[in-house]
């Protein structure tokens, strides 16, 4: 091993925290720093003996053989400027990950605007259920595993591959570094408005990824996604494996229940049934991607489906926080209108008699930009009441005009909890939706509901 000591700047992010665990498991001495130190990642890293410092003060930087720089850091950061001046060995997380781990693995990379975390967790669980100790890196907490990443003893490594930029000195998408043997393209929509100005720029990054793949590699994708169709028409040199909800496809799924908790799965000559705890067509599509990815490595469809029956999902993906005879409370990561729409539709199909109350924080850069304002109303059509949190008053005014009867504005967490509790009806389903902490709203609602129990 050339590098013995690694220091990670931005260590508490889900990706960089996962790297820290992989480096520690590989035998490196690992430390890190971050301006936002918060559980569960901070607790988990400390349990693994990884020391974390708050902030980026130069005096707190230890001597290290290599410094890994998270993409949240930029020029002007005190530590970044110091390390540049010292000409130290400074790498991005994805670059280090490939050269130290992925280069010698069979890589399954899961990409797309939605469903990456869930699909990556599904693939890892299928292999685990079948006795394979595969490596994985998941940008979330998979409920079937103790940790969000693992080196693994098997030749297969499953990684969540997002299109966000790599580092301040490498503006390519992170996934360009992974060189997958199997690429899952779940879907492609416009996102990350802070770094991409339009969909064409995102498609360009995805095509860079496709161009890195060898001829023997496989690309798994939904045949109905028009943006993926456009992407592949730009040029594709690897094997294409498509699926759809249409029985004319070689690989397809068909709902046996309205909420997709039971689906028929067809792949070639194999016809099987998936019965599981996940809801919605989007999860059926994630399952198809996972099944076909594992099939590339000799897994039988029937065995993959058996594994998925015991799949427990990922924290903050339709996560059940509280369920009583009177009320259900869920927490979800939804950060995009499509994700919001599919999640609420799945819940509506299962909980037909419930009043659905959605509490949504527009926190992602794309949501805050106003790019999706015109579709926010239709994205929440399956909710009966919608509470919105945004710092954009024009955005909130538009929402109130489009659906005045069911739109409420979140001015403070305390007032919102009080309003929800004051209007609660038997059989209500509450779901908080944010890709951040939502200022502690899920925990505050849980406390209030438990006190009211």
pLDDT in tens, 411-441: 999 999 999 999 999 999 999 988 777 888 9
Which tens digit of pLDDT belongs to each residue from 241-264? 999 999 999 999 999 999 899 999
292, pLDDT greater than 70:
yes
What mean pLDDT comes out for the span 327-345? 85
405 or 130, greater pLDDT? 130
Query: Which structural domains are found in the chain, ordered by start?
Result: 5-93 (3.40.50.720), 101-308 (3.40.1190.10), 319-452 (3.90.190.20)
Let me know: does 218 contact 295? Beta carbons within 8 Å. Answer: no
User: Highest-confidence range of 46-50, 77-81, 435-439, by mean pLDDT?
Assistant: 77-81
What number of other Cβ atoms are within 10 A of residue 118's Cβ? 28
Look at strands 319-323 and 170-173 and give their pairing. Answer: unpaired
How far is residue 311's CA from residue 125's CA, in Å, rounded to a whole number? 7
| 421 backbone φψ class: left, alpha, beta (φ>0; ψ -120 to 50) | alpha
The yes-or-no verdict on residue 371 having pLDDT over 70 is no
Tens digit of each residue's pLDDT (9 = 90 or more) over 126-166: 999 999 999 999 988 888 998 889 999 999 999 999 998 99
Question: pTM for this structure?
Answer: 0.84
DSSP letter for 11, please: T
For residues 295 and 299, what is the distance between their CA atoms, to the nearest angstrom? 5
Sorting pLDDT into bands at 50, 70 and 90, what band is 392? confident
Least confident of 292-301, 318-327, 421-430: 318-327
pLDDT value of residue 40: 67
């Amino acid at each position: 091993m050339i590098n013995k000591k690694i220091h990670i700047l931005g260590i508490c992010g889900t990706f960089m925290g996962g790297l820290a665990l992989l480096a520690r498991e590989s035998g490196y001495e690992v430390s890190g720093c971050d301006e936002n130190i918060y559980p569960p990642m901070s607790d988990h890293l400390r349990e693994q003996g990884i020391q974390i410092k708050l902030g980026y003060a130069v005096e707190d930087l230890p001597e290290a053989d290599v410094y890994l720089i998270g993409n949240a850091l930029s020029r002007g950061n005190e530590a970044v400027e110091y390390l540049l001046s010292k000409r130290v060995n400074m790498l991005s997380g994805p670059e280090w990950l490939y050269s130290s781990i992925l280069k010698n693995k069979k890589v399954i990379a899961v990409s797309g605007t939605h469903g990456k975390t869930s699909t990556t967790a599904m693939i890892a669980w299928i292999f685990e259920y079948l006795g394979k100790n595969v490596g994985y890196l998941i940008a979330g907490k998979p409920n079937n595993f103790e940790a969000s990443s693992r080196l693994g003893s098997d030749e297969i490594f499953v990684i969540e591959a997002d299109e966000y930029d790599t580092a301040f000195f490498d503006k390519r998408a992170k996934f360009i570094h992974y060189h997958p043997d199997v690429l899952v393209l779940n879907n492609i929509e416009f996102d990350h408005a802070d770094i991409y100005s339009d969909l064409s720029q995102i498609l360009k990054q995805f095509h860079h990824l496709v161009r890195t793949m060898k001829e023997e590699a496989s690309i798994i994708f939904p045949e109905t996604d028009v943006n993926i169709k456009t992407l592949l028409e730009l040029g594709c040199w690897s094997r294409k494996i498509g699926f759809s909800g249409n029985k004319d496809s070689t690989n397809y799924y068909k709902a046996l229940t309205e909420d997709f908790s039971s689906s028929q799965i067809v792949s070639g000559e194999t016809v099987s049934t998936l019965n599981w705890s996940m809801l919605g067509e989007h999860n059926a599509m994630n399952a198809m991607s996972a099944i076909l990815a594992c099939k590339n490595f000799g897994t039988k469809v029937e065995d993959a489906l058996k594994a998925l029956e015991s799949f427990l999902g990922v924290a903050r993906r339709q996560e059940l926080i509280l369920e009583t005879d009177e009320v259900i409370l869920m927490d979800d990561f939804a950060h995009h209108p499509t994700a919001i729409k599919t999640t609420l539709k799945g819940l509506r199909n299962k909980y037909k008699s419930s009043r659905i109350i959605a509490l949504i924080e527009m926190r992602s850069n794309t949501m805050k930009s106003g790019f999706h304002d015109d579709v926010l109303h239709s994205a929440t059509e399956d909710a009966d009441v919608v509470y919105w949190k945004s710092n954009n008053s024009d955005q909130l005014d538009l929402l109130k005009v489009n659906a005045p009867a069911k739109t409420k504005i979140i001015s403070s967490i305390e007032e919102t909890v009080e309003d929800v509790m004051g209007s609660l009806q038997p059989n209500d389903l509450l779901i908080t939706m944010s890709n951040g902490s939502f200022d502690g709203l899920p925990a505050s609602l849980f406390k209030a509901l438990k006190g009211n129990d």
